[in-house]
Amino acid sequence: MTYNTSKSKALFERATRVMIEGGSSPSRGPANYGDYPLFIDHARGSRIWDADGNEYIDWMMAYGALPLGHAHPRVVAAVAEAAAGGTLFAAATEIEIEVAELLQRLIPGAERVRFANTGTEAAMAAIRLARGYTGRPKFIKFEGHYHGWYDDFLVNAHPQPIASLGHRRDPIRIPDSSGLNRQALDDTIVVPWNDLAAVERAIDTHRGQIAAIITEAVMANIGVIPPEPDYLRQVRELARAHGILFVLDETVTGFRIAPGGCQQFYGLDPDISTFGKALGCGFPVAAFVGRAEIMEALAWGGVLHYGTQNSSRVGLYAARASLQVLTEDGAAAFRHLWKIGEQLGAGLRAVFAETGTPAIVQQVGPMLQIMFTDRPAIRDYREFCAHVDRDAYRRLARRLFGAGIYMSPSAALHSVASLAHTDEDVRCTVDAVRKALRHGD
């Protein structure tokens, strides 16, 4: 039967008459999907169905926001219970305490918790808190790390021609958007990742002015690029030696790698860490947590963080249900996530070897991405920009749609295993990739 997406096409034409690029985020539109995106109608478990009725194995899982898969029955029941009692009070609720206590038990550095709505907002608040607590204006941000669309962060976060980046000892700061405040990046120091000497130089150049070093635990918006062994701990020690706060952005990695995030997995003790995506299990719930002494700077609005939607009642019911599922039976869910992720990664590597395809799989357990490259590994943003064939990946991802496999068509994103994925999902996906590579365009 011919793969048909005519309803998605018609919906996109309708959408363009009322929304820019036919949607509410560029990642959902033609920039990633070509002529028009797929319009998703419903989902269950590891599967999604589009408006034309096509069924797909979903390896994107809402950019990692769904560690349990789609419509997990315990989350659905929790949401129904919450909504029946009122969706929002903008007042104190017991569910806030319950979820904060859960986070405190799970996350090593969560002495105090503050809820927000998105990862972007949590990262904004974390940097404001670091500046307020230290009385210093500047912070270090790494090339290729995406902390949301806040002006101060929106630099060197998306792939660029390698020639435009400057020398790695003195990176050229490239804003990722028009419309930024002209002074927004004055206090943003950009350095390459996985390069401890670069961090040392930046600290020496701006001695006494740096409030924080913010880093993703795994670079996750430039494919998947893991930290070098012991790198994050060394950055943490360097920050501590200079009175700089170490901010770990776990918006992507939180509740996907380990119950306590990458800080548990890598043995870190950040001063502040941020969470989003998987925390809300499909709802806009985020949090920033940290040492009590630092978080206390929020008291009485000393470092201001307001929000009518903070600690959404329905979202926190979903978060509580999700965290309970993820951590019961000795956190068995994470063992499943790792098993499925590693099976998929191994299967893809075997297909690349079998077909002679110049591609690798970069991976941290349940998080993985295919990179078309002759290199054995990609270790930072510059290597990604210079040595990864993003068009080859995009062509593969679009071919896989027709085989019922849904991966993000952007090479700068990644796939993720969920509790709902099965061994059969892995087998079907590996077979589809094999056929796609053999038959080409």
Q: Do 217 and 263 contact (CB within 8 A), yes or no?
A: yes
Q: Do 399 and 440 contact (CB within 8 A), yes or no?
A: no
User: Is the pLDDT at 310 greater than 80, yes or no?
Assistant: yes
**Residue 262 banded pLDDT, cuts 50, 70, 90:** very high
Q: Do 103 and 283 contact (CB within 8 A), yes or no?
A: no
pLDDT value of position 273: 98
pLDDT value of position 1: 55
Q: In terms of CATH, what superfamily is 6-71+331-439?
A: Aspartate Aminotransferase, domain 1 (3.90.1150.10)
User: Is the pLDDT at 11 greater than 70, yes or no?
Assistant: yes
Instruction: Read off the pLDDT of residues 313-328 as tens digits, 9 standing for 90 and up.
Output: 999 999 999 999 999 9
Look at residue 50 and give its three-state secondary structure.
Answer: strand
- Decide whether 6-71+331-439 matches 73-324 in CATH topology: no
Distance between CA atoms of residues 136 and 279, nearest Å: 30
Short-list 51, 39, 45, 48, CA closest to 15:
39
What mean pLDDT is predicted for residues 23-50? 92
Distance between CA atoms of residues 439 and 93, nearest Å: 57
Q: Do 238 and 164 contact (CB within 8 A), yes or no?
A: no
Q: What residue has token string 């500047």?
A: 138
User: Is the pLDDT at 394 greater than 90, yes or no?
Assistant: yes
**Tell me, what DSSP letter sits at residue 418?**
-
What mean pLDDT is predicted for residues 393-419? 96
Is beta strand 245-250 parallel, antiparallel or unpaired with respect to 210-216?
parallel
Q: Do 299 and 291 contact (CB within 8 A), yes or no?
A: no
**Residue 31 banded pLDDT, cuts 50, 70, 90:** confident
Structural domain boundaries in the chain? 6-71+331-439, 73-324
Instruction: Read off the pLDDT of residues 273-290 as tens digits, 9 standing for 90 and up.
Output: 999 999 999 999 999 999
What mean pLDDT is predicted for residues 346-372? 98
User: Is the pLDDT at 66 greater than 90, yes or no?
Assistant: yes
Q: Do 352 and 337 contact (CB within 8 A), yes or no?
A: no
Q: Do 281 and 138 contact (CB within 8 A), yes or no?
A: no
**Residue 182 banded pLDDT, cuts 50, 70, 90:** confident
pLDDT value of position 384: 97
What mean pLDDT is predicted for residues 232-240? 98
CATH 3.40.640.10 fits 73-324, yes or no: yes
Distance between CA atoms of residues 370 and 388, nearest Å: 10
What mean pLDDT is predicted for residues 80-91? 95
Q: What residue has token string 């063992």?
A: 335
**Residue 272 banded pLDDT, cuts 50, 70, 90:** very high
Distance between CA atoms of residues 366 and 258, nearest Å: 10
Residue 405 φ/ψ, nearest 5 degrees: -120, 125
Poorest-pLDDT segment among 94-103, 178-187, 199-208: 178-187
pLDDT value of position 441: 53
pLDDT value of position 186: 95
Burial 264-278 (b: 16+ CB within 10 A, else e): ebbebebbbbbbbbb
pTM: 0.96
- What positions carry a catalytic annotation? 146, 249, 277
**Residue 83 banded pLDDT, cuts 50, 70, 90:** very high
What mean pLDDT is predicted for residues 172-177? 92
Short-list 332, 343, 394, CA closest to 368:
343
Length of the chain: 441
**Tell me, what DSSP letter sits at residue 402?**
T
In the chain, what is the greatest distance between 2 CA atoms, to the nearest angstrom? Answer: 66
pLDDT value of position 34: 87
User: Is the pLDDT at 440 greater than 80, yes or no?
Assistant: no
Instruction: Read off the pLDDT of residues 104-126 as tens digits, 9 standing for 90 and up.
Output: 999 998 999 999 999 999 999 99
Distance between CA atoms of residues 206 and 403, nearest Å: 53
Look at residue 282 and give its three-state secondary structure.
Answer: coil
Look at residue 268 and give its three-state secondary structure.
Answer: coil
